[in-house]
Amino acid sequence: MWEYPFGQQINARGEEDYAKCITPVDLRDHYKSYKHSSSSKQVKQVVRRNAKQVRDVVLTSWLPQRMDPHISSKNANFYLNTPKGGRNAILYVDFVYTQLIRHTYVLLHSLNVSKRKGKKFNFSKIFTYKYNYKPCEEHQVGKYLDHYNISSDLAGETAQRGSKANFNMCIYLPTEKEVDILFIVQKLHKYFHFNLYVPITTEENSLFFFPFDLHNNLLVKHRFGIFVPYLYLHHCAEGGTNRGSSLHLNLSPSNLVTDTLYDFSFTERENIFFIPLLAYNNYGARVGSGKGYYDRALRQGGEEEEKKNVKVSLSLEVLLYEIDFLEPTDILLDYVVNERGVYHFVS
């Protein structure tokens, strides 16, 4: 039986160590005279198939396991104290998300994302992972809609009003087989000001971005089985214009849904995109679903506009491939966050 490659104590490192977890990867020489291989597409298809198999093994066989079944019960680093004075073993999934939260905090701090006053991050806190999505009973739906005064057709309150965020941050609404960025963002919302958006896939296979309220969100399974905010569907039903087919800039007034009903507004800022992936390599390239949504959306503003966007992916080290599969249409990531640290790709 393979040993899951996280055999380290959860709190073996202190805050000063985490501050050094960003590793620069200088790719300027690599891409200076880079020539794309004609076999990249085929290589990527193989990597995609392999990564799906690895991911499924990780999700079903590794992450649900205890941190170390052979560890001595005297070692408190592998246990959580319970309210009743007992102790529960840390699962690998708790370790992974604790590390991802810690490393993402360090990354956002290094990017100077606006922080909430008086909130100090606790690097010794261990987070117990819980899947975010839970079924909403029919009688509960009204509570969410009342928050926006949808029934009375009046302007509602959202977290966007009076936001102190200095970045527009686009996250994805994860499936059960993707890194749960909602869980991570919810934990970090205590420390940072977030102005959040989520991507919507159009029938024309484009992306546009809809404002997302972290605390008052009702999600509905939509096209391709992907969740979207209920407010988006309400917006469409009320005659809102789907401008996804006429994108020409990414995350700008031209492709953002804004509506007085929801009191959504848009301010031109730098953008941080958290982009889902299946696999990545040590050259800053990623393997996604294969449909090219993000590659097209983030390239449409041109090279100068693309440089304004910070492109980040969250993943696991086991999905890192030491093989080149970059295609001419692919975007390069600026950062990859995994349970070991943060890779900063400089290209």
Q: pTM of this prediction? A: 0.83
Taking 50 as the threshold, does the pLDDT of residue 246 lie above it?
no
Going by their DSSP bridges, the two strands 167-170 and 195-201 should be labelled as parallel
Q: Are 45 and 288 in contact (CB under 8 A)?
A: no
Q: What is the rounded CA–CA span in Å between residue 44 and residue 319?
A: 13
SS3 of 144-202? HHHHCCCCCCCCCCCCCCCCCCCEEEECCCCCCCCCCHHHHHHHHCCCECCEEEEEEEC
3-class SS of residue 20: coil
Residue type for 49, please? Answer: R
CATH number of 22-346: 3.40.50.10420
pLDDT tens-place string over residues 196-241:
999 888 777 778 888 888 876 778 777 777 788 877 777 776 655 4
Query: If you ran DSSP here, which 8-state letter would residue 215 be given?
Result: S
User: In degrees to the nearest 10, what's the CA dihedral of 68, 72, 73, 79?
Assistant: -40
> How long is the chain?
347
- 128 vs 149 pLDDT, higher one: 128
Confidence at 152, pLDDT banded by 50, 70, 90: very low
Q: Which amino acid is at 60?
A: T
| Residue 11 confidence (pLDDT) above 70 | no
What is the tens place of the pLDDT at every residue in 22-32? 999 999 999 99
Sheet of 320-321, strands arranged across: 286-287, 279-281, 320-321
> How many other C-beta atoms can be found within 10 angstroms of the C-beta atom of residue 149?
14
In this prediction, residue 72 has a pLDDT band, given cuts at 50, 70 and 90, of: very low
